Amino acid sequence: MYIDSKQLTQSIETVAKKANIMSDHVLVYEEMVAIPCFGQIILRFSLNMETCTPDDLDRYESLLYGIAGDEFMTDLMGSVYRKAGADYAALDRRLLELNDRFESETLIPSAHADGIKADASALLSAAGLDTALPVWEIQADRGEYTLLLLGNESRKLATLETPVKLTVAEADGRMCTGLFKAAVYCKRHGISLIRVLADGR
């Protein structure tokens, strides 16, 4: 699988190390998630801070954007946004609003697009599903994979042990697209994702 390849792992390690050093060890790499339908990989970080403000998140996410460049998308873990004031009680409604607001946002695939799209096809095939289905997310954890498809609701579709350990589920496509396009907008404007999650500015 491309998402487990040495090439990709080394690229992620380089970005993670640089982010940690340039932030004086405030930014800590947590996880990678592949987004095949948009040809992107997202690197998620936590903040080694007890408290933080939206201005703090602007500063650290702008630093991440510069370090990752066009190779990766980056954002912070959900707990960081909550700490800075994001209201997750209203998240579903907010994501639907973002899907409408950023409908025309331009999405450009990364250098990793072909590799992660091939992974998505291989996992769909292993699950006996149509390889043309839109795959929102691939999560990889020590040889176990979770595949999230763009659909109309959140539900589990299948669990496999062979030929690969795999869980296939469906997520609301409008919410996924809203979140991703909002992240692209924030990267383009050099602001934190919390700015649109919290109040839509």
Question: Can you give the C-alpha Rg of the chain in angstroms?
Answer: 17
CA 175 to CA 173: how far, in whole Å? 5
pTM for the full predicted model: 0.92
The answer to whether 140 touches 3, Cβ cutoff 8 Å, is yes
- pLDDT for 12 beyond 50: yes
Closest CA to 165 of 143, 137, 148: 143
- pLDDT for 123 beyond 70: yes
CA 47 to CA 57: how far, in whole Å? 9
pLDDT digits (tens, 9 = 90+) for 45-75: 999 998 999 999 999 999 999 999 999 999 9
Q: Which residues of 33-67 are buried (b: 16+ CB within 10 A; e: fewer)?
A: bbbbbbbbbbbbbebeeeebebebbbebbbbbbeb
Specify the DSSP element, H or E, that contains 45.
Answer: strand 40-47
Q: Which residues contact 98 (CB under 8 A, 6 or more apart)?
A: 178, 179, 181, 182, 196, 200
- pLDDT for 201 beyond 70: no
Residue percentage of the chain with pLDDT more than 90: 79
| HSE-CB for 199 with a 13 A CA cutoff | 5
More confident residue, 157 or 137: 137
